[in-house]
């Protein structure tokens, strides 16, 4: 049995590496490949899905997101962040709430969700994902403020979406709760997470100045520090995800030894973490049942609404004050891809036994699949058509 586990895990890692190579020729997101392969595999071999509980998916998602957000913060860095801080925060906070609100209204009126469960679904689908964008672009990077805004927005709106979801779950699972619990939960998570992230980033900048006896230990030190910062924030009731993102920004431009080696390690680990989460989602979905249920149609409808209605309505007005050309605004609007975070949030709802949670989980699967396959595959084409500069990295 252990040999089978080793075979499956090693084979999956090898496929991920092959997919990276193929992505240079075909702009098809690697996570999408594993999402679909895992879903098919769980139907062909039901025991695969039976061995992975939804709580396992939740735990995998948390660990993966720590890696992804810390890496995202370090790639943005303080210098790039402060240039685009205003649009990053307005899109990351106000844009997330607005997107969740539009999706909630659509889910309530089109598919007869209660307002509370529609809010849960809206919170799950509001955050964007930078790792999917990275996998689509391969060895290219979006230049200028556009890339910084997309990366920074997703780093901010992931913790915002998670805090919003936790509040919505409290509202959905307690009969005597009011919407004030959502406001209170969100405010505490954000404030405490921000403070822990700032303190943790300052301490980490100091810690990284010390040399280590083995070059291979440098990336492991930053990885361990990210885990400590997340745990410290979560232990005192804050958003550990916001804390690790802020800490990543704080050390992104720091003068530290072995910087290039550390960045390569964390970028590779973040890509692998994204693939693992997508594979886990695929294994927990009954593809045959989903394809024959109304959840497929509901998910497709909401995916289209999210891409062409909710995202433009929520993000478009917030970009007007920014000094950006029209083509840049349009690319930011289209570049809001969904990925690992909606998976994690849908798992939260299932673990908490929220009403209609299985339906929410199926819809999230469809929306994420649509986002990474349809929107994700179109990103290079849209960038060329809009004249968005991309550079080799």
pLDDT digits over 94-137, tens only? 999 999 999 999 999 999 999 999 999 999 999 987 667 666 66
For residue 306, tell me if it sits in a domain: yes
Q: How far apart are CA 102 and CA 100, in angstroms?
A: 6
- Angle (CA) 60-281-247 rounded to 5° is 40
- State the CATH number of the domain containing residue 78: 1.20.1530.20
H runs (alpha helix) in 179-216: 180-207
**pLDDT tens, position by position, 149-203:** 888 888 888 888 888 898 899 888 877 767 777 788 888 888 999 999 999 999 9
Q: How many CB atoms lie within 10 A of CB 335?
A: 27
Percentage of the residues of the chain whose pLDDT score is greater than 90: 26
In a domain, 132, yes or no: yes
Report residue 323: phi and psi, to 5°: -80, 80
**Domain total for the chain?**
1
Report the alpha-carbon distance of residue 368 to residue 379 in Å, rounded: 15
pLDDT at res. 60: 81
Q: Is residue 185 part of a domain?
A: yes
In a domain, 62, yes or no: yes
pLDDT of res. 96: 92
Average pLDDT of span 274-287 = 79
Q: Which domain holds residue 153?
A: 51-392
**Inside any domain, residue 44:** no
- Residue 8 domain-assigned (yes or no): no
pLDDT digits 0-9 by tens, 257-270: 777 788 888 877 88
């Amino acid at each position: 049995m252990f040999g089978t586990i080793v075979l499956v895990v090693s084979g999956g890692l090898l496929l991920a590496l092959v997919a990276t190579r193929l992505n240079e020729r075909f702009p098809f997101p690697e996570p999408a490949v594993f999402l679909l392969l895992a879903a098919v595999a769980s139907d062909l071999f039901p025991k695969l899905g039976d061995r992975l509980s939804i709580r396992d998916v939740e735990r995998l998602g948390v660990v993966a997101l720590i890696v992804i957000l810390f890496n995202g913060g370090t790639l943005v860095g303080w210098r790039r962040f402060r240039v685009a801080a205003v649009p990053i925060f307005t899109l990351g906070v106000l844009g997330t709430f607005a997107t969740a609100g539009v999706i909630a209204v659509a889910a309530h009126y089109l598919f007869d969700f209660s307002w509370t469960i529609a809010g849960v679904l809206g919170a799950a689908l509001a955050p964007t994902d930078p790792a999917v964008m990275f996998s689509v672009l391969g060895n290219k990077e979006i230049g200028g403020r556009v890339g910084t805004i997309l990366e920074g927005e997703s780093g901010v709106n992931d913790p915002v979406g998670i805090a919003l979801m936790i509040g919505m779950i409290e509202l959905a699972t307690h009969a005597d709760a009011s919407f004030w619990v959502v406001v209170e939960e969100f405010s505490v998570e954000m404030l405490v997470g921000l403070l822990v992230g700032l303190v943790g980033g300052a301490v980490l900048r100091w810690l990284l100045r010390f040399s280590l006896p083995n070059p291979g230990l440098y990336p492991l030190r930053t990885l361990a520090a990210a885990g400590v910062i997340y745990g410290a924030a979560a232990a005192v009731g804050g958003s550990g995800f916001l804390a690790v993102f802020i800490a990543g920004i704080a050390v992104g431009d720091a003068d530290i030894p072995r910087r290039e080696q550390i960045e390569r390690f964390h970028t590779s680990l973040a890509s692998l973490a994204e693939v693992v989460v997508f594979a886990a989602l695929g294994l927990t979905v009954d593809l045959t049942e989903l394809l024959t249920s109304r959840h497929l149609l509901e998910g497709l409808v909401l995916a289209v609404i999210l891409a062409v209605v909710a995202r433009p309505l929520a993000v478009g007005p917030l970009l007007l004050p920014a000094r950006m050309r029209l083509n840049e605004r349009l690319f930011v609007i289209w570049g809001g891809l969904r990925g690992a975070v909606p998976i994690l949030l849908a798992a939260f709802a299932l673990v908490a036994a929220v009403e209609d949670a299985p339906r929410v989980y199926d819809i999230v699967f469809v929306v994420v699949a649509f986002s990474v396959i349809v929107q994700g595959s179109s990103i290079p084409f849209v960038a060329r058509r809009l004249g968005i500069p991309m550079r080799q990295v």
